[in-house]
Structure 1
Amino acid sequence: MRHKGQWTLIEGPFSPVKSANSAEISVFCPDFYEQESHPLWWGTAQNTLSTQELRSLLENYLTANPRPEGPLSKAQWSEPAESDFQKDLEVIQGKIAKNEIQKAVPVIFARASQTVTAAERAQLILNLLSAPETLYVFGFWQKSQGILGATPETLFSYEHGLLQTMALAGTCPKSDKAERQSLLLDEKEMQEHHLVVEDLSQRLKLWGDVQSQGPMILELPTLYHLKTDFQVKCNERPDFRQLVMELHPTPALGVAPRAAGYEWMKALPGQEGRRGYGAPFAFFGAEEALCLVAIRNLQWSSNESMIGSGCGIVAASEFSREWRELFQKRLSVRKILGLNV
């Protein structure tokens, strides 16, 4: 994890534990649809490194373990099917037309039949050292399965009694800038953003008085997002794992209103093997916590790699515009990881 200019590396083997708020940093990275049964993980050692120290570590490793021209760097990515996303759009807008929901966020994946070797993983992390500070670099892997990426979104952070989070919803690819008005003037994008703001404004009252600032435009290397910041001075220290359960998923990745549930999205085509995409990805200490939203990443298993993207669908959403946005989000991941584009 990169946070405040420092890198935290936690070494395995990892052991499952039941409680957060302990002296050791525990990692919590459940699946998007299932948090209750997933353990917290403790490693055997923790290290804090500067960017230069980590760079030297990675370069020395790659010198000793040359990265072959290899399967992932030359992978042929199978792009998601337009028909899958068209069906997602129809299902969601059908529910909107029936006044069952106001918004939902489907996801789709580009896939490659290659996994990630240790040397490739080192090279990917080396590439991520150059990610702008507006992104949180994160990763976790065990055995043949893992995730690695750089997300702009936090579910929450907690430090010195202050709970902070954000509404990050509403997107414009920089390549579309000349053809589109500012996000702050875009009725569809502002509606999508407002639904997240409204949800968080109500949800955060559980922990104290809610202050907000925004919306504003967050600029990333290839995208613009609408962003509103929230902070709450907590009456007492929250249980971090319970905080995850209360906040995930916001309508930025789930459904508005929350009462409509989000389990039904499992049946939408194109998101098979989703696992941790858009899920909470958290680091818990005794008095501090950082929980990311695991977007803009590469996931892999023993026989497949996946790059996902999602978009908020409201009544005014159009297939062609959303399809372009989904592609630009996946492209931003390949670029920042140094993968073949």
Structure 2
Amino acid sequence: MDRQNSITLSGITNLLESGALLRHRGQWILIEGPFRQVSDANSDEITILCPDFYDLGSARFLRGQQTHALRGDEVKALCENYLSQSPPVPESLGSMNWQEPEKSDFATDLEIIQGKIQKGEIQKAVPVIFARTSQTVTAVHRAQMLLSLINAPPSLYVYGFWQNGEGVLGATPETLFEYSKGTLKTMALAGTCPKEDATHREFLLQDEKEMHEHLLVLEDIKSVLKPLGEIKTEGPQILELPTLFHLFTKINVDCQRVPSFTNLIESLHPTPALGVAPRNYGYKWMEELPGQEGRARYGAPFAFLSKEEALCLVGIRNIQWNKASSMIGSGCGIVAASDLEREWRELYQKRLSVRKILGLNL
């Protein structure tokens, strides 16, 4: 699929009805739908794979009709032009009636998980909770959010996919892996502190609970990747976002051969950053925890694949929607030392960071 360096108003209109996007290394890749199912990703064209978190088997390889590679200022001009010619929406997503998650649900989640930890069954698990509204996301809403996402920090991967009245749009700091020219890059991203709770920038590096959580994720990922080749790490270090600090370790693997990207997804998902440690305990039991209903793609692999290159994101920090509702999720790692009030604040700050970056002001 040839990548075009321009797009018409008709093209951006089509994209906002059915489309996908990725901001990577300063370039915006926009893919117009509708999307068709293909048998595999063995092509020079970009293939998208975005399953549900609990059901990798639901994944379908999808390809769009036209791909465009643009600068941020070009995307901004296109969205502004589209909005200037579109009827205004009656109400912004940010001002709608959002139902916040129940603290009692999360308290139950924490109690169940820490019970398993105390029994020695697991070391860590990551529950998620959602704020919800009975309003869908329209094409005009998507254009408005894109205008806000243009200003997202460069450390975030802006991504999205929508078709047939449902979709996801966000800006994640986390990759499951990236592969190009013999090198596999990934990360351990676990351990979080809202900036307002940190006494200084290096606070997390001295926090025993957060460092323990981070190292569980790091060692798990290294064990999965060990058969692929020599592993090199850099960190832990601090990743700074507008409202949060994260613990972050870079992981590089010099691969002896081109790996199977789908096998990699199946082997890595979910890391203990979104799932359970140890991973052999399984993670699908979390689906029954209170507050998890309709999780869909939150925290799931979100992959852009071609024959010899791949970028697979971890689908967090997003808004998801269907024809009748929308939701914004947040998750946190629970270990033996986790405290209800501290984790509850972290969950709120993560959802707040999503609203801010999407322009959904409170």
Normalised by the length of structure 2, the TM-score is: 0.92
Per-residue deviation, 1:181: 7.4
Q: How large is the RMSD of aligned CA atoms in angstroms?
A: 1.2
Matches within 5 A, 1:242-261: 242-261=263-282
Q: 2:294 aligns with which of 255, 270, 273?
A: 273
1:224 aligns with 2:249: no
Per-residue deviation, 1:180: 10
Per-residue deviation, 1:69: 3.8
Q: Which residue of 2 aligns with 1:206?
A: 227
One-letter identity of the residue aligned with 2:130: F
Matches within 5 A, 1:162-241: 162-178=183-199, 182-241=203-262
The answer as to whether partners of 1:21 and 1:240 remain within 8 angstroms in 2 is: no
The DSSP-based 3-state class of the residue aligned with 2:57 is coil
Per-residue deviation, 1:126: 0.9
Q: 1:313 aligns with which of 334, 337, 350?
A: 334
One-letter identity of the residue aligned with 2:241: L
The answer as to whether partners of 1:88 and 1:269 remain within 8 angstroms in 2 is: yes
Q: Which residue of 2 aligns with 1:302?
A: 323
The answer as to whether partners of 2:94 and 2:355 remain within 8 angstroms in 1 is: no
One-letter identity of the residue aligned with 1:116: V
Q: Which residue of 1 aligns with 2:164?
A: 143
- Of the structure 1 ranges 236-245 and 60-69, higher mean CA displacement relative to structure 2 is found in 60-69
- Of the structure 1 ranges 157-166 and 32-41, higher mean CA displacement relative to structure 2 is found in 32-41
1:125 aligns with 2:125: no
Q: 1:46 aligns with which of 43, 67, 75?
A: 67
Q: Deviations over 1:270-329 (max 9, x none)?
A: 010000000000100122111000110000111111000000000000000000000000
Q: Which residue of 2 aligns with 1:79?
A: 100
The answer as to whether partners of 1:137 and 1:149 remain within 8 angstroms in 2 is: yes
The answer as to whether partners of 1:281 and 1:292 remain within 8 angstroms in 2 is: yes
Q: Which residue of 1 aligns with 2:115?
A: 94
Q: Deviations over 1:67-110 (max 9, x none)?
A: 32425242111110011000100110000011000000000000
Structure 2 CA distance for aligned equivalents of residues 149 and 24 of structure 1: 23
Q: Which residue of 2 aligns with 1:37?
A: 58
One-letter identity of the residue aligned with 1:113: S
One-letter identity of the residue aligned with 1:333: V
Q: Which residue of 1 aligns with 2:5?
A: none
Per-residue deviation, 1:242: 1.4
1:21 aligns with 2:46: no
The DSSP-based 3-state class of the residue aligned with 1:124 is helix
Structure 2 CA distance for aligned equivalents of residues 198 and 340 of structure 1: 38
The DSSP-based 3-state class of the residue aligned with 1:67 is coil
Q: Which residue of 2 aligns with 1:160?
A: 181
The DSSP-based 3-state class of the residue aligned with 1:130 is coil
Q: Which residue of 1 aligns with 2:314?
A: 293
- Can you give the 5+ residue segments of structure 2 that lack an aligned partner in the other structure? 1-21
The DSSP-based 3-state class of the residue aligned with 1:70 is coil
The DSSP-based 3-state class of the residue aligned with 1:168 is strand
The answer as to whether partners of 1:109 and 1:306 remain within 8 angstroms in 2 is: yes
- Can you give the 5+ residue segments of structure 1 that lack an aligned partner in the other structure? none
Per-residue deviation, 1:18: 2.2
Q: Which residue of 1 aligns with 2:4?
A: none
The answer as to whether partners of 2:52 and 2:58 remain within 8 angstroms in 1 is: no
Per-residue deviation, 1:240: 1.1
Structure 1 CA distance for aligned equivalents of residues 202 and 107 of structure 2: 25
Structure 1 CA distance for aligned equivalents of residues 87 and 193 of structure 2: 39
Structure 1 CA distance for aligned equivalents of residues 202 and 152 of structure 2: 27
Per-residue deviation, 1:143: 1.1
Structure 2 CA distance for aligned equivalents of residues 155 and 180 of structure 1: 26
Per-residue deviation, 1:241: 1.3
- Of the structure 1 ranges 203-212 and 177-186, higher mean CA displacement relative to structure 2 is found in 177-186
One-letter identity of the residue aligned with 2:273: A
The answer as to whether partners of 2:92 and 2:141 remain within 8 angstroms in 1 is: no
The answer as to whether partners of 2:117 and 2:336 remain within 8 angstroms in 1 is: yes
Q: Deviations over 1:95-138 (max 9, x none)?
A: 00110000000000000111111111111011100001010000
One-letter identity of the residue aligned with 1:18: S
The DSSP-based 3-state class of the residue aligned with 1:146 is strand
The DSSP-based 3-state class of the residue aligned with 1:27 is strand
Normalised by the length of structure 1, the TM-score is: 0.98
The DSSP-based 3-state class of the residue aligned with 2:58 is coil
Structure 2 CA distance for aligned equivalents of residues 148 and 25 of structure 1: 18
- Of the structure 1 ranges 48-57 and 84-93, higher mean CA displacement relative to structure 2 is found in 48-57
Alignment length (residue pairs): 341
Structure 2 CA distance for aligned equivalents of residues 335 and 212 of structure 1: 32
